[in-house]
């Protein structure tokens, strides 16, 4: 059976979200993080079945409430909602964050999404050309495929994030 297109888009969006630096130009709100979390859980685990965490675990309660609020949403609908949320965040970044070098670096993380989500919001073409055409919407062939080894800079960040994941209880994905 062929996988729905939203599955590939969902996996690409999850990889991008998990790879974004925590100290980047854009900081998502807690509400955005909870939406990503709830859609991720619904898409990967299905309907929320467990008991609500206790009073002394407020973050667990927020996460449970967000996931539980999705009710009987299907896994495919949750994947599509995750991708739609990713598009909203990308547009919000474009609309609110100054287009400078730190933003340019952040959009490098978004590049794998442009390969599978063709209507993904992008910064204006002038933003890419400002740096002498170093990268832009057509540069996907210079960036490794989604399953390939990541550039050293991103790998170093990914290793750091993985080592210190236990410090961050509220995160975007698994």
Asked if residue 170 lies in contact with residue 37, where contact means CB atoms within 8 angstroms, the answer is yes
Q: Which CATH number fits domain 5-167: 3.40.50.300, 1.10.340.30, 2.70.98.10, 1.20.80.10?
A: 1.20.80.10
Asked if residue 14 lies in contact with residue 173, where contact means CB atoms within 8 angstroms, the answer is yes
The CA radius of gyration of the chain, in Å to the nearest whole number, is 17
Q: pLDDT tens digits, residue range 29-45?
A: 899 999 999 999 999 99
Whole-model pTM over 0.85: no
**Greatest extent of the chain over all pairs of C-alpha atoms, in Å:** 55
The DSSP symbol for 123 reads: -
Which of 50, 115, 114, 116 minimizes the C-alpha distance to 79? 116
Distance CA 34, CA 171 (A): 8
**Is the pLDDT higher at 14 or at 99?**
14
Q: pLDDT tens digits, residue range 127-151?
A: 666 554 444 444 443 333 333 333 4
Q: Check pLDDT > 80 for residue 55.
A: yes
Residues whose CB is less than 8 angstroms from the CB of residue 4 and which lie 6 or more positions away in sequence, other chains included: 76, 79
Segments making up each domain of the chain, as ranges: 5-167
Distance CA 26, CA 88 (A): 13
Q: Is 75 helix (H, G, I), strand (E, B) or coil?
A: helix
49, with CB counted inside 10 A (0-12, 13-18, 19+), is exposed
Average per-residue pLDDT for the chain: 75
**Residue 9 phi, psi (nearest 5):** -65, -40
141-163 mean pLDDT: 40
Residues whose CB is less than 8 angstroms from the CB of residue 136 and which lie 6 or more positions away in sequence, other chains included: 125, 128, 129
Q: Check pLDDT > 80 for residue 81.
A: yes
């Amino acid at each position: 059976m062929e996988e729905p297109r939203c599955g590939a888009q969902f996996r690409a969006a999850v990889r991008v979200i998990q790879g974004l630096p925590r100290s980047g130009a854009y900081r998502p709100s807690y509400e955005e993080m909870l939406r990503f979390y709830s859609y991720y859980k619904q898409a990967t685990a299905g309907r929320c079945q467990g008991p609500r965490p206790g009073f002394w675990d407020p973050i667990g309660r927020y996460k449970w409430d967000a996931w539980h609020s999705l009710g009987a949403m299907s896994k495919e609908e949750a994947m599509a909602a995750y991708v739609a949320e990713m598009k909203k965040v990308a547009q919000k970044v474009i609309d609110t964050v100054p287009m400078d070098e730190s933003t340019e670096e952040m959009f490098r993380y978004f590049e794998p999404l442009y390969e599978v989500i063709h209507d993904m919001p992008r910064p204006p073409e002038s933003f890419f050309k400002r740096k002498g055409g170093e990268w832009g919407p057509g540069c996907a062939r210079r960036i490794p495929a989604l399953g390939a080894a990541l550039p050293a800079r991103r790998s170093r960040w990914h290793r750091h994030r993985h080592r210190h994941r236990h410090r961050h209880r509220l995160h975007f994905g698994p």
